[in-house]
Structure 1
C-alpha cells in the first residue's frame, strides 16, 4: 500500500459521517477477548438511565473500545498491510465508532420521547380546557 492510499484510509477513519448507516458489529475482539458488542450496547440502551452499578462497566468498555480503535488505526498508519486489509480495518473502526457513540449517548436525554410526552401533556391540557368551556 502506498502513502496516498494509507492517507486516504486514515482520513476515512476521521470522518464523522463515516458512521452513518454503519451497524454495530455483532462481536469484536478487544485486547484478545471476544466481546458481544451489539448485545452489550442494546442491553445498555434498554436501561432507564445508567444506574451507578453499570456505569463503571460501561465506561471501562468504552475505554477498551477506544484503545482497540487506536490499535486498528495504528495498523493502518504503520502500512504493513494490503489495501484490502486497510479497507476492512476502516470498516471495523467505523463499527467501533458507532458503538462508542451509542454508549456515550446513554446519559443524553431521549429528545424524541420528551417531545412525545410534551405533545401528550399539551393535548391533555387542550382537552381539559374544552371540557371546562360552557356550552
Structure 2
C-alpha cells in the first residue's frame, strides 16, 4: 500500500460521522474469539436498561472492542508490515463497524451514568449537611431550631 492510500484510510476511520450508514459486523473475531457482534448489540439494546448482571459483560465487550479497534488501526499505520490497499480497506471497514457497535453500546449507559451522578451528588449534599450540623452543634433530634445552648425554652 502506498503512503497516500494509508493516510486516506486512516483519515476515513477517524472522520466524524464515519459510522453513519455503516453496519455492525454480523460476526467478528475480537481478541482471538469469534463473536456474533450484531446479535450481541441488538440483544443488549432491546432492553430498556442493562441488568446489573449484564453490565460487566457489556463493559468487558466494549473494552475488548476498543482494544481490537486499536490493533486493527495499528495494522494500517504500520509501514513495516506490508498489506495491500484492499486488505487496508477491509480493516478500515471493520474498524468503522466496530465503532458503530461501540457507539450503540455507549448509548446504553447514558441514563445510568446520569442517575448515578445525581445519586452521588445527593449523597455528597447529605454528608455535607450532616457535617455542618455536627460542626455547628445541632443534633438531628433537636426540635428547638434556633434555640442556642444553655438557654431555656
**Does TM-score exceed 0.5, indicating one fold?**
yes
The structure that is helix-richer by fraction is 1
TM-score bin (small chain): 0.7 to 0.9
Higher relative contact order, structure no. (Cα contacts within 8 Å, ≥ 6 residues apart):
1
Is 1:16 equivalent to 2:16 in the alignment?
yes
CA RMSD of aligned residues (A): 1.0
Runs of 5+ in structure 1 lacking a partner?
A: 110-135
In the TM superposition, residue 108 of structure 1 has moved relative to its aligned partner by 3.0
**d(CA) in 2 for partners of 1:67, 1:108:** 22
Aligned length: 109
CA shift digits 1:36-74 (9 cap, x unpaired): 100100110011211211111000000000100000000
In the TM superposition, residue 16 of structure 1 has moved relative to its aligned partner by 2.2
Q: 1:102 matched to which residue of 2?
A: 104
Q: 1:57 matched to which residue of 2?
A: 57
Q: TM-score, normalised by structure 2?
A: 0.69
Deviating beyond 6 angstroms after TM superposition, the runs of 4 or more aligned structure 1 residues are none
Is 1:88 equivalent to 2:84 in the alignment?
no
**d(CA) in 2 for partners of 1:91, 1:60:** 23
Q: Kindly name which structure, 1 or 2, has the bigger radius of gyration based on alpha carbons.
A: 2
**d(CA) in 2 for partners of 1:6, 1:23:** 22
Runs of 5+ in structure 2 lacking a partner?
A: 112-153
Is 1:68 equivalent to 2:68 in the alignment?
yes
Q: 2:150 matched to which residue of 1?
A: none
**d(CA) in 1 for partners of 2:109, 2:66:** 18
Q: 2:37 matched to which residue of 1?
A: 37
